[in-house]
Amino acid sequence: MDQQPERREGRSFPERKGQKRKLEEGAVAAEDREISAATTDGAQALLCEVAAQVSVLNSAFSWQESDRAAAKRATQVLAELAKNEDLVNLIVDGGAVPALMTHLQAPPYNDGDLAEKPFEHEVEKGSAFALGLLAIKPEYQKLIVDKGALPHLVNLLKRNKEGSSSRAVNSVIRRAADAITNLAHENSSIKTRVRVEGGIPPLVELLEFSDSKVQRAAAGALRTLAFKNDENKNQIVECNALPTLILMLGSEDAAIHYEAVGVIGNLVHSSPHIKKEVLAAGALQPVIGLLSSCCPESQREAALLLGQFASTDSDCKVHIVQRGAVRPLIEMLQSPDVQLKEMSAFALGRLAQDAHNQAGIAHSGGLGPLLKLLDSRNGSLQHNAAFALYGLADNEDNVSDFIRVGGIQKLQDGEFIVQATKDCVSKTLKRLEEKIHGRVLRHLLYLMRISEKSIQRRVALALAHLCSPEDQRTIFIDDNGLELLLGLLGSTNTKQQLDGAAALYKLANKSMALSPVDAAPPSPTQRVYLGEQYVNNATLSDVTFLVEGRTFYAHRICLLASSDAFRAMFDGGYREKDARDIEIPNIKWEVFELMMRFIYTGSVDITTEISKDLLRAADQYLLEGLKRLCEYTIAQDITLESIGDMYELSEAFHAMSLRQACILFILEHFDKLSSRPWQNELVQRTIPEIREYFCRALTKSTTNLQSLRL
C-alpha cells in the first residue's frame, strides 16, 4: 500500500520563459536589440543575428583584446536569446553549438600576446552558460555532448587549480557545473559519460569551495548525476562527499541545504547500503532540523528523505521520532503547499508502521490533519494520508481517538481517487473493527456515557459499524447506544439523519435477526393438509361457502385445524356452527380460492396484484402462515413511492414482517427518501417501531449466539 513519492533531479537555469535575470557580467543593452520571431521578418532577422554572432565566435578565437571582447559579447547575446525556449531551435540551426564549443577552452597563447589575458574566464563562462540553456531541450543534449562538450566542461570545473581565484573563476566554474546538470538531466547515458570523463571528483571537491554559489552548483550537478545511476552514486560516496554534504545541511543558505539534501536523497534512493552509510555519517539530526527550515523546498526534501530513512529498520523509525521529527512533520501537514503536505504525510506513514511511534503520532495531534487530507483531490496526497492512518489504526490506544475526532465517518464517507487508496481505507476500517473489544470497548462505552453529546453520537455511530454481534445488546440496549442513534434519526439536521440511518441499517445487517420476513410461527392447532385433490371438491364435503354467488365445497375437519377463526366459527356459539351453506361477504372469489388452497395444501403462489387482498383475508381468518407469505410478496414490491402506503398497510393488519421490511427499506434508502416532502413525518411515525424492532432483534441475536456456543 505504501507508495513512495518520485524523487526529482532538479534543473539549473530557472530564468527561462519570461523570468529575467541580469547576467553577472552585464546584460546586453536593451536598446541594442529587440528581435521577435513572431513574424516572418522577425524570424529572418533573428537568423541573421544568430549568424552574425556565430561568425564572430568563429573568427575571434584569440587572446587579442578586441577578439575577446567580441567573443564575450557574442556569447552573451546567444545566451540572452536562448533564455526564450521558442528560439532555441533557430539558434542551434544557425550553427551556434560548434561555435560555442570552441570557446569552452582558452585560445592558444601566441608570441606577441599581452601578458595580461583580457577577459580571462569570461568568454568560457558565457559559452558554458549558453550551451547549458540550449541543453534544456532534451533533443540537443546528445548533440552538444557528441560535439565534445564534456571534457571541456570538466576542465572548467578545475579552473580554480590554476592558481587564480577571482569572481570570474567562480563564475566559469558555476556555469560549467550548471551546464553539466542540464546536459545530464533525465539522460542516463550522459550521466555515465560525465563519470567516464572524470567529472564527479572535481564536483565533489567543489562542495568545499569558498564561494557559496559554486557549492550550490556543484551540489546541483551531483544531485542530477546521482539520480537513478548506481555507478555514479557509488563514486560520489567513494570520493568522500558525505561528510561535506552533511555539513551543508546546516548551512544558513537555503539554496545550499536544499541542494545538499537533494543529493543525499538521490544517493539513498533504492540504495540500502548507501542509506546505512549516510545514517552512520550523522545525517539524521541535520535532516530533521531541515523540517523547520524557512525553505519549503528543503522541508519537502527532508521529509521525503526521512521517509526513506524510516524504511531501513524499526530502530531507525524510533530514532527519527525520538529526535523530534513528529511535531514539525505534523505542522507541515497543515501547510498550503500541496507537495509539502504530500511528503510529510509520506514520512509519517512510514514512521507509523512502527508500534512504538503510532500512539505518539496520534497524541501529538497527527490524526486530525491526516484525516483532513482525505478530502484532497490530489491522489498521491490522499493516498499518503490514508497509508499513515492505516499505520495509526494498528495501535489500540489510538482507536478511541480515531472515533472521538470523527475518523470513522471520514473514512466511510470519503471519495477516494485511486483504487489503492480505497483498499487502504478498507483495511484501516478492518483494523479498527478488530480492536473493538476488551479495554478498547470499555473505554468507548465510558465515552458514550460521560462525554458531550457530539462525542457520544460519534461513538455510537462508529460502534454500529464496527462492533461484533455479540456486543450489540450491551452497547445499544444496556448502554443506551440505540437511543443515541434514534436521536440522530429524529434530528432536523439532514447529515445527522443520514448518519443515523446508515448506522442503524448496518446494525440490522450485522444482527442475526436480519430477514425482512421471518418464518411463520407454529399454529396453535395441529395442521392437517387434505391435499390439492380436495380443494373445492364435493367428495366428503360437509360445508359449502357462497362467494360472489358461487359455491365452494369444503371440509370442516380441515378448516378446524387451520386457524382459531374457523374453530370459533364451527365450535363456538356462532350460527355458522350447524349451517350447511355459509355466505362469505366482502371477499373476491379469487382471493377466497387462494386462501382455501393454502388451508388444504400449506402453500400457494401469490401474485403482487392479489397479495394485499389476500393479506386482508389472511388477517381476518387468523392464517398466520398465509399472512407471512403475503407480507413477503408485498415487501418485494416496496418502492420509494409506495413506502408510505406499505407502512400504513402493515399497521392496519398488524403485519410485523412487512413492517420490519418497511423499516429496513427506510433505513437503507434514507438518502433518497430525504427529498420527499412526507419523509420527515414518516420517520417520526416509525421511530417507535424502529426502537421496538431493534430491541427485539438485538436481544434475539444475542440469545442465538449464546445458544450456538452452548
pLDDT, tens digit, for every residue of 285-344? Answer: 999 999 999 999 999 999 999 999 998 778 899 999 999 999 999 999 999 999 999 999
Residues 6+ apart with CB under 8 A from 144: 97, 101, 131, 134, 135, 183
More confident residue, 580 or 304: 304
Least confident of 29-43, 102-116, 338-352: 29-43
Query: Who wins on pLDDT, 635 or 708?
Result: 635
Taking each helix axis from N to C end, the angle separating 188-196 and 212-226, rounded to the nearest 10 degrees, works out to 120
Q: In whole angstroms, give the CA distance from residue 79 to residue 599.
A: 101
Average pLDDT estimate for 22-29: 34
How far the first Cα of the chain sits from its last, in Å, is 41
CA separation (Å) from 542 to 362, 558, 602?
81, 11, 21
Is residue 66 a contact partner of residue 114, using CB atoms and an 8 Å limit?
no
Cα separation, 670 vs 603, whole angstroms: 35
pLDDT at 17: 35
Neighbours of 112 (CB within 10 A): 7
Torsion of CA 609, 610, 611, 613, to 10 degrees: 130
Chain CA centroid to CA 195, Å: 40
pLDDT at residue 56, as a whole number: 96
Q: Which class is 532-634 in CATH?
A: alpha beta
Q: Regarding predicted confidence, which is higher, 530 or 395?
A: 395
CA distance 475 to 479: 5
Residue type, 384: N
CA dist 133 → 65, 150, 670, 707 (Å): 26, 15, 62, 81
Grade residue 679 by pLDDT with cuts at 50, 70 and 90.
confident
pLDDT in tens, 245-286: 999 999 999 999 999 999 999 999 999 999 999 999 999 999
Report the chain's mean pLDDT, rounded to a whole number. Answer: 89
pTM of the model: 0.81
pLDDT band at 28 (very low <50, low <70, confident <90, very high): very low
Cell numbers found for residue 507: 446494525
Q: Are 328 and 300 in contact (CB under 8 A)?
A: no
pLDDT at 18 over 70: no
What is the pLDDT, as a whole number, of residue 223? 97
- For residue 552, the tally of other CB atoms under 10 A from its CB is 19
pLDDT higher than threshold 80 for residue 556: yes
Q: Give the pLDDT of residue 703.
A: 59
Grid coordinates representing 39 are: 513574424
User: Rounded to whole angstroms, how far apart are CA atoms 309 and 346?
Assistant: 12
For residues 343 and 337, give the distance between their C-alpha atoms in angstroms, rounded to a whole number. Answer: 10
> How many other C-beta atoms can be found within 10 angstroms of the C-beta atom of residue 707?
8
Helix 241-248 with 272-280: angle, nearest 10 deg: 60
d(CA 634, CA 661): 10
Find the radius of gyration of the CA atoms of the chain: 42
